[in-house]
């Protein structure tokens, strides 16, 4: 049941911030108060991972926004591996974000390889999936998200370290939000896919979170849906409103 899955809220800062603005985010997170029944993870740009971990209270974990598929090597310009992220205190990595897929051209296969490596390093994976507007309009949502989930699943032996993030591409940074009903419908379909293709236990226990223009205004209603186990928040995670989103399930 939904209430056995710990609510999970991630803040993806994307390519934003300088030390001054990062200090401001750290301050409102440290001041809180944050719902102790919600797992909170923030994902600063890689260059600030160590800085943020050093100043942030321990009730908020840190995540890299991406990584390469190996620990080290001759890969000029790649900025973080899971081993390096772990070395500076990060415990999660976001993989497969739509901006990595559609801006930087990462394919399902590469994202799968990264997933296998990150889990081998003992870190958690925030596994992102989601359809583009034309795919939704041509009724391909399930086809797309099942294909993307399948590429993750082929590389996962232990699902306890995986959070699935459904992020419809048409709702990211556009101000358009999937309605709570639309989000619930896709999340329920994903849970059924997990039951049919992985196991009933994995389907029941895996947290499926929603991302795409989540705000203080819509988080409470989204959070009431039985298969919405939290959020992956973009722009709103840079603002004090993020605390309200973290506390969406608090009475």
**Enzyme catalytic residues:** 97, 167
80 CB-near residues (< 8 Å, 6+ apart): 46, 49, 64, 66, 67, 68
Helix (H/G/I), strand (E/B), else coil: 161: helix
- Backbone φ and ψ for 91, nearest 5 degrees, come out as -120, 0
Closest by CA to 230, choosing from 24, 20, 58, 2, is 2
Query: Residue 210 has which token pair?
Result: 């929603």
For residue 35, report the phi and psi dihedrals to the nearest 5 degrees. Answer: -55, 120
- Tell whether the torsion through CA atoms of 148, 149, 151 and 152 is positive or negative: positive
Query: Is the Cβ–Cβ distance between 183 and 225 less than 8 Å?
Result: yes
SS3 of residue 67 by DSSP: coil
Angstrom CA distances, 165 to 23, 72, 160, stand at 27, 27, 14
Q: Which residue from 20, 9, 66, 83 is spatially nearest to 42, judged by alpha carbons?
A: 9
């Amino acid at each position: 049941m939904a209430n056995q899955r710990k609510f999970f809220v991630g803040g993806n800062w994307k390519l934003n911030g300088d030390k001054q603005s990062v200090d401001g985010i750290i301050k409102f997170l440290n001041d809180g108060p944050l719902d102790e029944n919600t797992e909170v993870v923030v994902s600063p740009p890689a260059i600030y991972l160590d800085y943020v971990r050093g100043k942030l209270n321990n009730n908020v974990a840190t995540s890299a926004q991406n990584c390469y598929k190996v620990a080290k090597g001759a890969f000029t310009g790649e900025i973080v591996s899971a081993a390096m992220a772990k070395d500076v205190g990060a415990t999660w990595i976001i993989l497969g974000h739509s901006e990595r897929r559609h801006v930087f051209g990462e394919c399902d296969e590469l994202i799968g390889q990264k997933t296998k490596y990150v889990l081998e390093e003992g870190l958690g994976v925030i596994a992102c999936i989601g359809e583009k507007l034309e795919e939704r309009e041509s009724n391909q949502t399930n086809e797309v998200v099942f294909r993307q989930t399948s590429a993750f699943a082929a590389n996962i032996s232990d699902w306890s370290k995986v959070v699935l993030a459904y992020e419809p591409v048409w709702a990211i940074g556009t101000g358009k939000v999937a309605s709570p009903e639309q989000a619930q419908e896709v999340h329920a379909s994903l849970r059924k896919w997990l039951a049919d293709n992985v196991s009933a236990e994995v389907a029941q226990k895996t947290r499926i979170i929603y991302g795409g223009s989540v705000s203080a205004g819509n988080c409470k209603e989204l959070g009431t849906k039985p298969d919405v186990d939290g959020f992956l928040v973009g722009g709103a995670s840079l603002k004090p409103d993020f605390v309200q989103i973290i506390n969406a399930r608090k009475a």
